[in-house]
Structure 1
Amino acid sequence: MIIYFVVVLVLYMLAMILIGFFAMNRVKSVADLHVGGMNVGGVFVALSFFTTYFSSVVFIGATALGWKYGLPVVWKDVFVVLIGTALAFILLGPRIACLSRRLGFITISEFVEKRYGSRLAGLVTSVVMFVGLLIYNVSALIGTARAVEVVASIDYLYALLLTGIVTAIYTAVGGYIAQMWTQVVQAIFMIFMAIAICVVSLLRVGGLDTLSTQLRAIDPSLAGWPYKDALPLFTLYLSLGFLGWGNPALLLRFVSVRNRISLGTATVIATAISAVFTLSLDLASATSRIIVGNNVAPDYSFVYLVQNIMPKGFDALFVVAVLSASMSTISAILGVMTQNIRDFIKNFVSLDHGKEIALYRIATIAVAVSSIALATKPPEMIIVLFGVTTSILAGVLIGPIIYGLYSKRVSPIAIIVTMIVSFALAIGVSAYGQFKFPWTYYSFIPTILTSITLPPIITIFTEAKHPK
């Protein structure tokens, strides 16, 4: 069995690296490197958005919520599918795609800089995004390493190194095009695995009605109202939904889309597969409380569920699915973090085409190594760590993005001050709760309210600077 696992993992990793090197031959310009030349079709955009949105956190961290809270976690789908996916495509996609051509930006930091006419605003955006994405990257690495550790009996550190290094290689050499090509393969593994586990787990417990009855016998809150920890879960679900609006790795998918027709196709496909995927995992994770029992660590409950209900050898495919979820997100995050470094450096150094590519590859490896180092000492539940990410990305950046897309009256100083204050709130509230659940998610509420309400107030006392 160990040999079987090794063969499957090696073949998968080699396939990802080979795709990266094939993609390298398609990188002819800076736009190719960062956004696929702004010529990506709708199906690719949809699958890329899907795999970037759902990292290994959804297989490990989010499924821990299913074990802990039961069927009420299904409410999460409403926020993630409708707000984070459908409304993100409908309300943000067309505006970002249009403005990226009109203003000539290929990164979100450039969008803020050019839209508000302020280099400092772009710089602050880069710093905020870098911090939020670094935490995101670390949580994705932790989730993958934990799954591989349990299922494949590979030491956590080795699993961590394997995931981080391979992802860094194909991202560094192939850029955005490598991200897109690998994410198509990864999306197929993720969707297949979620549906298969859902069907088998529901059959094992005797169907949805039987599952509800058995969960209610353990604790009525596991099957219906009154929900346990309703307020923390609501803030968690809300932040996960708005992550689709504030995560720069997701917003870049709208920059890369070929045209409005492709964007329309992507909207339908991304919404559909997100609904199927999240509902499947939520229902399956709820069964883990019945099938696995109470005496397990929440983060490992879904892994034990797979080992319990699926035939031998199938758990290797599960590891591939977790790796797909993680590596697709990590690749996208590495790309954006590298863009942040590039946007910072270009303020001081002129970069030609050759220097751009060299910087991208060096920075990608450097960021990956840093993330691996930080992931060597993980917290007990990665969903707690993920809360800080959602507060920063889905909270701090919402205001600047929304006003940048739909208003010409907000001043650059208002955006700068808002990002600094809301970022301080995101960190401060989490720190007050010692970076533990539910405080990492409570921090989202004051953060997003500040991000949305403060810019027009500050603008009253400052002069708005319109883009050309």
Structure 2
Amino acid sequence: MVKLFILVVYFAVLVAIGLYCRKHSTDVNGFVLGGRSVGPWLTAFAYGTSYFSAVVFVGYAGQFGWRYGLSATWAGIGNAIIGSLLAWVVLGRRTRIMTQHLDSATMPQFFGRRFNSTALKIYASIIIFIFLIPYTASLYNGLSRLFGMAFNIDYSVCIILMAVLTAIYVIAGGYMATAINDFIQGIIMLVGISVIIAAVLMSKGGFMAALDGLARIEDAKVSTTPGIFASFFGPDPLNLFFVVILTSLGAWGLPQMVQKFYAIKNEESIKKGTIISTLFAFVVAGGCYFLGGFGRLFSDILNVGPKGVPAGGFDAIIPAMLSTLSPVLIALVVILVLSASMSTLSSLVIASSSTLTIDFLKDNFIKNMSEKKQVLMIRALIVVFIAISAAIALVQYKSNVTFIAQLMGVSWGALAGAFLAPFMYSLYWKNTTKASCYVSFTFGSLLMILNMFFRPYFPAIMKSPINSGAIAMFAGLVIVPIVSFITKRPDSTLVEETFACYEKKVPVTQKTSLEG
């Protein structure tokens, strides 16, 4: 009853905020970007909660903690420094300035106007549509075991409940409702992960006792080095490096992450948001991977198979670690993972529906679409996308279709590999060409599709979709400048007009500058 009561209150607050924010979602700019007037706390928490979902808390934390031990914490540190701090410093201000100057609300629209190319815009929107849907469906996966452990109810009920509630507050309030709910969900995540880490470590006698126990664990199939799972770099530093790169640098190329910078209010908000977002990532991401690093201490209740993997797979590790907690703490865990998943889900469906409406349907198939019709179409597509993602999750749950699971695994790598380099170079380098964007889009997405279908034929280091995704991102950073040098230069008038936004003179206070 305590767990159910907490859940009901939580859901009621989310829906109430969605209904309250209806006044901010009457036009496209308000519905998709919150009127470009979102403050630092809301933007930072929206960025962080979109970044870290149940995939990280249940899937990645359990899997990488089991494989790399305590060194998996490097993934969380990388998420904070590279995925948050550097992302805000390198992309934040320039993204906000240029996207407003180009009047673009989505990543494909940015590419279309930056290079004056409708075809490039449509190509980008197709890639986003293909890969965001399975990524959206994956958000439900981490909840199945937790809900079964906490409430002993069918996972299908959890999927439908989460889909319906997310749809209600996103459709009603748009980006502003999502941002406010993300703030609440972010606080839950900060408090939750801190309390859960303390409770789990105390169940093993405290931090030093847990660390000592982890150092005594041996697995000859992984490494013969004593204490390897409690070491600084763990048993496999190279593959751990690829994990850090994909989960950290990859955020720079994800449409739903970059879009947060479009909506931020002003310069002061960027400065504060950078600090807030980085600290949030240190606690949440660092805490998740740190917790997962102690997973092997629970081998006695995980029923580890002959291949050294828990019988229920890596997704069973975190739920097993939490199964002995008190009912109130279990309720906190469920709400924490629900918060992480719903915040990311809302961000993804806004990105998907706005992209399909603004960049694909508008002008290409539906001429002269008014603001009111665009908002209505975005809302309708939110329902469609949430329904599709829920249906995929249900099909996978009922029939265990491995193809869907593989497609989910390559989504992050494909999106980041396709968009990271073209987007960053487009913000900074005037000589970036349209052709280089096409090549990067194609290389990143095609590499991950080939990895999914022909993985056995890939070199050993690229058999993992994580490694292939990281390599796709690095390749894009090389491909864009090389192709730009050998292809036709962009129109100088268009480029100068685009980059003129950075040269615009604005008054500042004396505390910001002594000049003038």
1:305 to 305, 310, 321: 321
Pairing of 1:174-189 with structure 2 (within 5 A): 174-189=173-188
Give distance in 1, aligned partners of 2:444 and 2:148.
37
Q: Distance in 2 between matches of 1:418 and 1:209?
A: 48
After the TM superposition, which of the residue ranges 79-88 and 416-425 deviates more from structure 2?
416-425
* 1:297-355 deviation per Cα after TM superposition (whole angstroms, max 9, x unaligned): 321221222221x3223211211111100000000000000012111001322211210
Do the aligned residues in 2 keep the contact of 1:89 with 1:267 (CA within 8 Å)?
A: yes
Q: Give deviations 1:33-91, integer Å, cap 9, x for gaps.
A: 00000001111111111111111112211221224432010111232111100000000
Q: For 1:315, give the aligned amino acid.
A: I
* Deviation string, structure 1 residues 275-309 (Cα, Å, up to 9, x no partner): 1222222232223321463424321221222221x
Aligned 1:4-403 pairs, distance under 5 A: 4-64=2-62, 65-219=64-218, 220-224=227-231, 227-291=234-298, 293=300, 294-295=302-303, 296=310, 297=312, 298-308=314-324, 310-342=325-357, 343-348=359-364, 349=366, 350-376=368-394, 377-378=396-397, 387-403=409-425
8 Å contact kept, 1:19–1:182: yes
Q: Match for 1:444 among 460, 463, 469?
A: 469
Shift of 1:390: 2.2
CA contact (8 A) 2:163 2:386 kept: yes
2: CA distance, partners of 1:85 / 1:448: 17
Partner residue, 2:487:
462
Q: Tell me, what secondary structure is at the counterpart of 2:216?
A: helix
Distance 1:304 1:457 in 2: 49
Is 2:137–2:393's contact at 8 Å kept on the other side of the alignment? Answer: yes
For the Cα contact (< 8 Å) 1:63–1:281, is it kept in 2? yes
Q: CA deviation at 1:235?
A: 1.4
Over the matched positions of the two proteins, sequence identity in percent amounts to 26
Partner residue of 2:510?
none
| Cα 1:279/1:445, change in 2 over 3 Å | closer
Provide the C-alpha distance between the structure 2 equivalents of 1:10 and 1:143, rounded to a whole number of angstroms.
20
CA drift of 1:370 comes to 0.6
Question: Does the Cα contact within 8 Å between 1:141 and 1:164 map onto a contact in 2?
Answer: no
Q: Distance in 2 between matches of 1:383 and 1:208?
A: 35
Task: State the TM-score, normalizing by the size of structure 2.
Answer: 0.85
Partner of 2:504: none
SS for the counterpart of 1:409 is coil
What is the TM-score when the length of structure 1 is the normalising length?
Answer: 0.93
Bigger Cα displacement from structure 2, 227-236 vs 46-55: 227-236
| Structure 2 gap segments, 5+ residues each | 219-226, 304-309, 498-516
Equivalent-residue separation in structure 1 for 2:463 and 2:198 (angstroms): 31
Contact 2:11 2:165 (C-alpha < 8 Å) held by counterparts: yes
Per-residue deviation, 1:105: 1.0
2 CA distance for matches of 1:230 and 1:139? 27
- Could you report, residue by residue, the CA deviation over 1:385-439 in whole angstroms, capped at 9, with x for unpaired residues? 6541221122211111111111111221221132112210121123222799962
Aligned 8 A contact 2:58 2:315 in 1: yes
Is the Cα contact below 8 Å between 1:22 and 1:174 reproduced in 2? Answer: yes
Task: Please report the RMSD computed on the Cα atoms of aligned residues, expressed in angstroms.
Answer: 2.3
Whole-Å separation in 2 of the counterparts to 1:301 and 1:207:
19
What's the offset of the Cα at 1:229? 4.0
Determine if contact 1:147/1:300 at 8 Å carries over to the other structure.
no
Which of 414, 430, 441 is 1:419 aligned to? 441
- CA apart distance, 1:225: 6.4
The alignment of Structure 1 onto Structure 2 pairs a total of residues equal to: 465
Question: Counterpart of 2:140 in 1: which secondary structure?
Answer: helix
Corresponding residue of 2:223: none
In the TM superposition, structure 1's runs of 4+ consecutive aligned residues that sit over 4 Å from their partners are 378-386, 434-438
Name the amino acid aligned to 2:430: K
CA distance in 2, matches of 1:136, 1:61: 13
Deviation at 1:199, TM superposition (A): 1.5
More displaced stretch, 43-52 vs 371-380 = 371-380
Instruction: Evaluate the alpha carbon distance shift between residue 138 and residue 275 of structure 1 in structure 2; reply closer, same or farther with a 3 A threshold.
Output: same
- Aligned residue identity for 1:421: F
Measured in 1, the distance between the counterparts of 2:436 and 2:20 equals: 45
Alpha-carbon distance, 1:226 to partner = 7.0
**Offset of 1:212 from its aligned partner?**
2.7
Q: Could you tell me whether the CA contact under 8 Å between 1:190 and 1:324 is conserved in 2?
A: yes
